[in-house]
């Protein structure tokens, strides 16, 4: 597996409400799900991508509270909906992000 796509993970500063850079990584990115959502007569495509990276210690914080982190990939923002540290081996770490 090749980790060749640069991503940035940002963290929400809860006091100021601003997003700040948390960590830069290289990921293997794969499309997970794409669905259309209909609201108020408009169609919006939501895309879920799987971002797989090599494990590093700052990722533990993301696993514990995904709500204050987001992924920036190709200048698009993705809310982190789920994570996976397979069998807690701390080798590869998967994050699932939904575009908004």
Q: Where are the domains of the chain?
A: 5-99
- Tokens 């960590």 map to which residue? 23
Give the pLDDT score at 32: 72
- What are the distances in angstroms from CA 51 to CA 17, 41, 42, 82, 87? 25, 31, 28, 11, 17
Instruction: Please determine, for residue 29, whether its predicted confidence score (pLDDT) is greater than 90.
Output: yes
Give the pLDDT score at 59: 94
What is the value of pTM for the model shown? 0.85
Which is higher by pLDDT, 69 or 86? 69
Condensed to tens digits (0 to 9), the pLDDT of residues 30-83 reads 987 655 555 556 556 778 999 999 999 999 999 999 999 999 999 999 999 999
Bridge partners (DSSP) listed for residue 97: 49, 80
For domain 5-99, give the CATH number: 2.40.10.270
């Amino acid at each position: 597996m090749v980790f060749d796509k640069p991503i940035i993970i940002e963290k929400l500063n809860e006091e100021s409400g601003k997003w700040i850079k948390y960590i830069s990584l290289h990921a293997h990115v794969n499309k997970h799900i794409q669905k259309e959502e209909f609201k108020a007569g408009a169609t919006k495509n939501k895309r879920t991508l799987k971002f797989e990276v090599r494990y590093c210690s700052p990722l533990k914080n993301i696993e514990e509270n995904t709500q204050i982190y987001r992924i920036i990939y190709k200048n698009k923002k993705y809310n982190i909906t789920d994570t996976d540290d397979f069998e807690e081996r701390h080798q590869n770490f998967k994050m699932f992000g939904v575009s908004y």
